């Protein structure tokens, strides 16, 4: 495959599947690396790994890897030296790797006795490129869908008119979208089915609720309620929406959102 990107050293495009999203607690269950050399040659490798811990059902629901699938696989420590050497001298690339894949890989290497860091490496994050090229603002959406600049941005009248034009532009660009308000509203609700509350402070991982912000991001709500209830009391004292405060207060008395089969949740 011809590359449009000029390389002056190997580029390792990689992706990780894991038992969860907390590097200090979770483990890698699969890693894939596509290594591309400056002369255009590429080699793809995939390894499944025994995480030496049970894979939570919520994680298996995401990546489709179960305990039985990795029971006879090597551990990360078993492949650490070979992988470390394989990535030596490579720049890195991935999708949203800066916030997940790299921290997870660094932590696994550290457990195995290797210091894997980014010093001297260049990192290409396709997610960051995507967000910068298509800013998630009304001005950006207006430019993309309506193909013109938004004048008077942040004025209420201009913004409301632009929003209506953007919705019509979205319908024109994506014919698969519902053409009635009920259908389109349902589509909007489904766009982030893993979110528990409207402000995205909590989200679903399988059937468990995890915190989606702050120092406890990635931890299960039940775990925090049992071991760090002060965080939930802080939410109740702070200026959070009523919906978020109710989830926190309910958790303190052992009541947690229950995920319905249709993806909705019930408090």
Residue range 59-77, pLDDT digits in tens:
898 899 999 999 999 999 9
In Å, how far from its chain's centre is CA 198? 17
Name the nearest CA neighbour of 214 among 248, 172, 180: 248
Q: Is 30 among the domain residues?
A: yes
Tell whether the model's pLDDT for residue 260 goes beyond 80. Answer: no
Residue range 167-198, pLDDT digits in tens:
999 999 999 989 988 888 778 766 566 788 87
Instruction: pLDDT band for 129, please (50, 70, 90 cuts).
Output: confident
Domain match, 85 and 22 both: yes
Domain match, 38 and 110 both: yes
Instruction: pLDDT band for 200, please (50, 70, 90 cuts).
Output: confident
Task: Decide if 150 contacts 143 (C-beta within 8 A).
Answer: yes
Containing structural domain, residue 249? 202-258
Domain match, 111 and 46 both: yes
Domain harbouring 62, CATH code: 3.30.420.10
Long-range contacts of 75-81 (CB under 8 A, 24+ apart): 75/49, 75/50, 75/51, 76/27, 76/28, 76/49, 76/51, 76/108, 76/111, 76/112, 77/111, 77/112, 79/47, 79/49, 80/108, 80/109, 80/112, 80/113, 80/114, 81/112, 81/114
Domain match, 113 and 144 both: no
Domain match, 143 and 119 both: no
Domain match, 54 and 90 both: yes
Domain match, 92 and 45 both: yes
Q: Helix or strand or coil: residue 96?
A: coil
Q: Is 125 among the domain residues?
A: yes
Domain match, 115 and 54 both: yes
Q: Is 23 among the domain residues?
A: yes
Q: Is 3 among the domain residues?
A: no
Q: Is 2 among the domain residues?
A: no
Structure confidence at residue 155 (pLDDT): 83
Q: Is 195 among the domain residues?
A: no
Task: Decide if 105 contacts 80 (C-beta within 8 A).
Answer: no
Name the more confident of 135 and 167.
167
- Count structural domains, the chain: 3
Q: Output the average pLDDT for the chain.
A: 88
């Amino acid at each position: 495959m011809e590359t449009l990107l000029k390389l002056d050293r190997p580029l390792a495009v990689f992706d990780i599947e894991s038992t969860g999203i907390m590097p200090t607690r979770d483990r890698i269950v699969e890693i894939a690396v596509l290594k591309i050399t400056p002369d255009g040659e590429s080699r793809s490798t995939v390894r499944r790994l025994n995480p030496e811990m049970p894979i939570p059902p919520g994680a298996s629901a995401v990546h489709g890897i179960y305990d039985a699938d990795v029971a006879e696989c090597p551990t990360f420590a078993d492949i650490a030296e070979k992988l470390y050497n394989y990535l030596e001298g490579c720049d890195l690339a991935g999708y949203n790797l800066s916030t997940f894949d790299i921290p997870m890989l660094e932590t696994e290497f550290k457990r195995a006795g290797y210091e894997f860091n980014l010093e001297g490496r260049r990192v290409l994050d396709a997610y960051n490129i995507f967000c910068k090229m298509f800013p998630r603002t009304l001005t950006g959406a207006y430019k993309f869908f309506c193909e013109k600049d938004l004048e008077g941005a942040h004025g209420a009248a201009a913004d409301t008119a632009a929003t209506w034009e953007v919705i019509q532009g979205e319908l024109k660009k994506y014919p698969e979208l519902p053409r009635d308000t009920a259908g389109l509203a349902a589509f909007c609700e489904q766009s982030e089915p893993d979110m528990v509350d409207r402000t995205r402070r909590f989200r679903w991982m399988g059937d468990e609720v995890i915190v989606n912000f702050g120092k406890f991001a990635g931890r299960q709500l039940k775990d925090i309620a049992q071991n760090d209830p002060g965080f939930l009391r802080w939410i109740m004292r702070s200026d959070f929406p009523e919906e978020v405060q109710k989830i926190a207060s309910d958790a303190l008395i052992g009541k947690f959102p229950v995920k319905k089969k249709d993806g909705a949740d019930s408090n």
